[in-house]
Amino acid sequence: MDKILRINMSAPGSPRFTDEPLGEYAGLGGRGLTSMIIAREVPPQCHPLGEENKLVIAPGLLSGTAAAMSGRLSVGCKSPLTGGIKEANSGGQPSQVLARLGYAAIVLEGRPSGDDLYKVYINKDGVKIEKASGLKMLTNYKVVDQMKKEHGDSIACISIGPAGEMKMTAASIACTDMELHPSRHAGRGGVGAVMGSKGIKVIVLDDSGLKNREPKDADKFRDANKRFADGLKKHPVTGQALPSFGTNVLANIINEAGAYPTNNFSLGQFAGVSKISGETEADLEVKRGGVATHGCHRGCVIRCSGIYFDKKGKYLTKQPEYETVWAHGANCGIDDLDSIAMLDFLDDDFGLDTIEMGATIGVAMEAGLAKFGDAKAAIGLIKEVGKGTHLGRILGNGAAFTARAFGVERAPVVKGQAMPAYDPRAVQGIGVTYATSTMGADHTAGYAIATNVLKVGGFVDPLKPEGQIDLSRNLQIATAAIDATGMCLFIAFAVLDQPETFQALLDLLNSFYGLSLTADDVTALGKKILTAEREFNLKAGLTKEHDRLPFYFMKEKLPPHNVVFQVSDKELDEVFNW
């Protein structure tokens, strides 16, 4: 993993590729690499769909190795949704395969002059770029089926659906899972639209004949990996709750806390929650012959995913996770898991971010396009997006765009990006992260609850009112660092409570690369990434005035606790004072 593949789509005649050494980007992976390339090479004020923008696809530092949980893929660009820097993260197989092929990143540059679509194929023998106009407007599942026919089953695919080709700002980039379903997505920020603007429909990766990347110190690496995996298995969250019920185990709890956004963020509790909870979902999956405990990539030991079968016992989609079940469920007043699973499938197939689309349908329902709870209508609206009708074009550009089109005040977005499944009036600390994240409203931006171990920013007294400002800052730093490793963020639970598991993570990195990283180095990396992202955003025109929640969160009381967001602008502005 010592080179970068650059594909210039503007090259005269046809796209041209070059392999380059890592150079100044050596030592970076995942979000660290995507954000540094974007910050250094993309003009901040460029149009996100213009030739100056770049799409960077980067595995993590430990991807392609035997390290547990190392299969996350980072996708970076200037976002057409937020107008700022973006890193969207996905599971699936491509990260491991791309790393084994030796690439620290693929960088798509320029823009083709015509309407041709291209396919990129990479194996141990090299890179091929071919016109693939026959794939035009195919959905992700059909594209992958076609790739299987052309290249066999030993591949991993990174693709876009019709939404990406139509350059919709809710468009995602699909990654295939272990079963070669395009069910894992770099969903947020419209990264699929940027891939569409580059004219690349699919990147096919084939690592046949290649082995795992070899560590510098194999014995120490093996030992660290065992300690790391054991730490994850023994922790109650990563060893019990997530494998048993998946991330949707949170539904009941967040609902109980009155923080479960319902009917387009107008209520904090959903009466139908027990019909769509993780407990019910897992029970249904097992009864139908699906799977409630499944990894999204090889090497996952947490296995928080699953496989969802329809009423006839036939594969419908992967287990819809918490954010998706909420977005298309409670937020739209829908309490039917089969409908939610169908919406998840359609999002994956058309290549759409499930959070953005759930929030968008919620806004559309408030606008009167459908009634809250009408699952059939919600499915119809998503199909409009897939077909690219005029209405679909509005919806496919996200919640903020749809709210403007239909005159709806309640648009739950920050920097144009839809909020995830926690109402910031009930959980105000996460509202701080929504407001100030470099990514727009993003629950994963401040997710790595490893700050006590990392001691980022020193000890924070949780009882102090200002604790949430300091904590949000620290969480964002820790998260940026973990995103750079390519590790699944869920490792953070075990790392928080078990310092020896955090040490095992450091030992994995050190034994693999022959380094001697400490917790301070990890913190410094997180700060470096965030600083570069903040500077990019500032130059792109996103100032502190954009680090705000929509005004209605300050005036509309959220039942059942009847609270409004109370963190002041002054406090929000302190998050990035370090």
Partner 1 sequence: MNTGAGTSISLEIDERCAGDFFVLLQGGFSIASHIGCDVMEFLTGQCGIEKELISKIISAVFLDGKPVDDLESAQLHDGANLALSGPLPGLVGAVMKRGSAYSSFRRSISYKGEDAVARGEGMVTVKLFNTLTRELGPRFLARGVLIPPRTLADFLAKGRDAIAGGCRAISLDGSSVSYRHLVKRLLSMNGLVSLAVKPKTSLG
Residues that bind partner 1 (CB under 8 A): 236-238, 240-242, 244-245, 247, 249-250, 252-254, 256-259, 269, 274, 277-280, 283, 287, 304, 322, 422, 425-430, 443, 446-447, 449, 452, 460, 462-465, 467-468, 471, 475, 490, 493, 496, 560-561, 563, 566
Name the pairing type of β-strands 173-175 and 184-186: antiparallel
Within 8 A by CB and 6+ apart from 36, the residues are: 25, 28, 529, 532
Residue 84 is encoded by which pair of tokens?
A: 């700022």
In one letter, which amino acid is 190? G
List 105's β-bridge partners, or say none.
Answer: 4
Cα separation, 29 vs 98, whole angstroms = 12
Residue with smaller CB distance to partner 1, 298 or 464:
464
Residue with smaller CB distance to partner 1, 76 or 424:
424
Residue with smaller CB distance to partner 1, 217 or 571:
571
**What is the smallest separation between the CB atom of 242 and partner 1, expressed in angstroms?**
5
**What is the smallest separation between the CB atom of 314 and partner 1, expressed in angstroms?**
18
Burial class (CB in 10 A: 0-12, 13-18, 19+), 115: exposed
Cα separation, 507 vs 524, whole angstroms = 17
Residue with smaller CB distance to partner 1, 316 or 427:
427
Residue with smaller CB distance to partner 1, 345 or 422:
422
Rg of the chain's alpha carbons, rounded to an integer?
A: 22
**What is the smallest separation between the CB atom of 447 and partner 1, expressed in angstroms?**
5
Spatial strand order in the sheet of 305-309 = 291-294, 305-309, 315-318
**What is the smallest separation between the CB atom of 241 and partner 1, expressed in angstroms?**
4
Residue with smaller CB distance to partner 1, 144 or 241:
241
Residue with smaller CB distance to partner 1, 313 or 560:
560
Helix ranges (H only) for 437-518 are 451-454, 467-485, 491-497, 499-513
Cα separation, 382 vs 370, whole angstroms = 12
Q: Are 146 and 135 in contact (CB under 8 A)?
A: yes
Residue with smaller CB distance to partner 1, 254 or 375:
254
Q: 301-305: long-range contacts (C-beta < 8 A, 24 or more apart)? A: 301/68, 301/69, 301/229, 301/232, 301/233, 301/238, 302/69, 302/232, 302/238, 302/242, 302/243, 302/488, 302/490, 302/491, 303/242, 303/243, 304/242, 304/243, 304/246, 304/247, 304/490, 305/91, 305/246
Greatest CA separation for the chain: 63
Q: Is the dihedral of CA 96, 98, 103, 105 positive or negative?
A: negative
Provide the 3-class DSSP secondary structure of residue 56: strand
Residue with smaller CB distance to partner 1, 127 or 564:
564
List 291's β-bridge partners, or say none.
Answer: 307
**What is the smallest separation between the CB atom of 91 and partner 1, expressed in angstroms?**
15
List 16's β-bridge partners, or say none.
Answer: 8
Residue with smaller CB distance to partner 1, 186 or 426:
426
List 74's β-bridge partners, or say none.
Answer: 58, 89
Residue with smaller CB distance to partner 1, 66 or 249:
249
**What is the smallest separation between the CB atom of 363 and partner 1, expressed in angstroms?**
23
**What is the smallest separation between the CB atom of 336 and partner 1, expressed in angstroms?**
13
**What is the smallest separation between the CB atom of 234 and partner 1, expressed in angstroms?**
12
**What is the smallest separation between the CB atom of 256 and partner 1, expressed in angstroms?**
5
**What is the smallest separation between the CB atom of 551 and partner 1, expressed in angstroms?**
18
**What is the smallest separation between the CB atom of 417 and partner 1, expressed in angstroms?**
18
Q: State phi, psi for 191 to the nearest 5 degrees.
A: -60, -30
Helix ranges (H only) for 124-277 are 140-151, 162-165, 191-197, 218-234, 236, 242-245, 250-256, 273-276
